[in-house]
Structure 1
Amino acid sequence: MAVPKKRTSKAKKNARKANWKQKGFKAAQKSLSLAKSMLRGKPTSFVYSVYIDEAE
Structure 2
Amino acid sequence: MTDLIPAPAGVVDRWDIDRIDPYLVCRFAGTAQTVTIHEKGAKVCEVGDKPFRAGCR
- Fold-level similarity (TM above 0.5): no
Structure with higher strand content: 2
Q: Which has the larger radius of gyration?
A: 1
TM-score scaled by length of structure 1: 0.23
Q: Higher helix share goes to which structure?
A: 1
Structure showing greater relative contact order (alpha-carbon pairs closer than 8 Å, 6 or more residues apart) = 2
TM-score by length of 2: 0.23
